[in-house]
């Protein structure tokens, strides 16, 4: 049985492996490079740099440890890394830069043991992923992963904020103490001796910020004995000050979270009402447009004019009838010769 050979992925190796005769690597849409018992890919490198339009890539049954080199395949949709040697999720984060990746297979990799809950993390980090390890990613799973890692990210951000604020407050307190000691020294002695200035300039900046017992004998104004007894070593002083700030900052953030929850509920209610009002407004606007389409203003004018003409005709007819009635009710007129008026007789 031939010994196992690990190869580095190169364009020449790919062309010899697949028997490609043309140099138009940018036109290749699919590559299948599974490992064998005698030969496996151990390093990707820049071997796929010119496969710019690659959509499907099969690298299963190899010995790949790092997927560095795949992040430039912006058209990649299917990636099979089944049965490789990817050790952790840190190596997988490179794949988060692939915008259209839909199908990813990471089964039988060491990361399954080091990070057994990697699936919700990958689902949360890759919003466009539709299938992971041969199983469809459902909406309920995606929502659960988003909720889980959003809460974890909020906790991490909060802890980092507390640490950062504690450190800043601790440094501000130390700076105030050093400035106060310098002010007291200048006020009392007016100036330092040459020996004191030389020894003070030779000390590192960190020692000025955190006094210790080593300097207590050199300058009692900058480094009084009571400071040395209370603070101890610089590391202990820093930790003690940070701990003194960490608890009240945590309580303050708890209070903000509590009130923010109430404000968040009120904001959600207001947004829902706003959405409902917008829906009603859109419905009314749609009905108005439909009515105006079916009954345009020109048709209204024509209808009104027609109605006015009908009313005019009715009035003329009424006048004519009134005249006829008046003519019928007039008495017959007698002429001077005693004959009746023909018009009246008729």
Please determine, for residue 201, whether its predicted confidence score (pLDDT) is greater than 90: no
pLDDT bin (cut points 50, 70, 90) of residue 98 is very high
**In this predicted model, what pLDDT tens digit does every residue of 124-148 receive, in sequence order?**
999 999 999 999 999 999 998 888 8
**In this predicted model, what pLDDT tens digit does every residue of 288-300 receive, in sequence order?**
888 878 777 666 6
**Average pLDDT, integer, range 315-336:** 74
Please determine, for residue 224, whether its predicted confidence score (pLDDT) is greater than 80: no
DSSP 213-246: TTSTTT-TTTS-HHHHHHH-SHHHHHHHHHHHHH
Please determine, for residue 9, whether its predicted confidence score (pLDDT) is greater than 90: yes
What are the structure tokens assigned to 243, written together? 């701990």
Q: Which residues contact 11 (CB under 8 A, 6 or more apart)?
A: 25, 47, 50
DSSP letter at 150 equals H
Q: Is the dihedral of CA 282, 284, 286, 288 positive or negative?
A: negative
> Alpha-carbon distance 295 to 91, whole Å?
66
41 membership: H or E segment, kind and range = strand 39-43
What are the structure tokens assigned to 299, written together? 């048709």
pLDDT bin (cut points 50, 70, 90) of residue 196 is very low
Closest listed residue to residue 85, CA positions, set 104, 66, 113, 105: 66
Please determine, for residue 338, whether its predicted confidence score (pLDDT) is greater than 90: no
Please determine, for residue 61, whether its predicted confidence score (pLDDT) is greater than 60: yes
Q: Which of 27-41, 156-170, 209-223, 288-302 has the lowest mean pLDDT?
A: 209-223
What are the structure tokens assigned to 212, written together? 């210790």
The stretches of the chain forming alpha helices (DSSP H) are 11-18, 89-92, 111-114, 118-125, 139-189, 194-202, 205-209, 225-231, 234-294, 297-329, 342-345
Q: Which residues contact 26 (CB under 8 A, 6 or more apart)?
A: 50, 51, 52, 53
Tell me the pTM.
0.50
CA angle 106, 112, 116 (to 5 degrees): 125
Return the pLDDT at 213: 42
């Amino acid at each position: 049985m031939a010994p196992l050979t690990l190869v580095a992925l190169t364009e020449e190796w790919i062309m010899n492996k697949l028997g490609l005769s043309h140099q138009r690597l940018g036109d290749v849409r699919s590559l299948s490079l599974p490992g064998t018992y005698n030969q496996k890919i151990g390093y990707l490198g820049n071997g796929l740099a010119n496969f710019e339009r690659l959509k499907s890539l099969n690298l299963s049954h190899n010995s790949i440890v790092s997927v560095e080199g795949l992040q430039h395949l912006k058209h990649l949709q299917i990636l099979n890394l089944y049965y490789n040697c990817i050790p952790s999720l840190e190596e997988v984060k490179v794949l988060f830069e692939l915008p259209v990746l839909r199908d990813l297979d990471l089964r039988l990799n060491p990361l399954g043991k080091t990070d057994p809950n990697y699936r919700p993390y990958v689902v949360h980090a890759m919003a466009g992923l539709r299938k992971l390890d041969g199983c469809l990613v459902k909406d309920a799973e995606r929502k659960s992963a988003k909720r889980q890692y959003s809460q974890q990210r909020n906790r991490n951000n909060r802890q980092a904020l507390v640490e950062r604020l504690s450190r800043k407050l601790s440094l501000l307190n130390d700076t105030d103490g050093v400035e106060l000691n310098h002010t007291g020294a200048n006020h009392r002695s007016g100036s330092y001796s040459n020996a004191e200035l030389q020894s003070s300039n030779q000390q590192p900046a960190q020692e000025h910020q955190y006094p210790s017992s080593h300097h207590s004998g050199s300058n009692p104004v900058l480094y009084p004995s009571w400071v040395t007894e209370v603070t101890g070593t610089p590391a202990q002083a820093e930790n003690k000050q940070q701990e003194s700030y960490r608890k009240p900052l945590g309580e303050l953030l708890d209070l903000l979270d509590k009130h923010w929850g109430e404000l968040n509920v009120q904001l959600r209610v207001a947004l829902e009402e706003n959405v409902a009002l917008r829906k009603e407004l859109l419905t009314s606007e749609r009905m108005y447009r439909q009515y105006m389409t079916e009954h345009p203003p020109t048709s209204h004018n024509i209808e009104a004019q027609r109605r006015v003409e009908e009313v005019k005709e009715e009035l003329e007819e009424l006048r004519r009838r009134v005249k006829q009635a008046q003519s019928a009710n007039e008495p017959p007129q007698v002429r001077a010769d005693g004959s009746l008026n023909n018009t009246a007789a008729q």
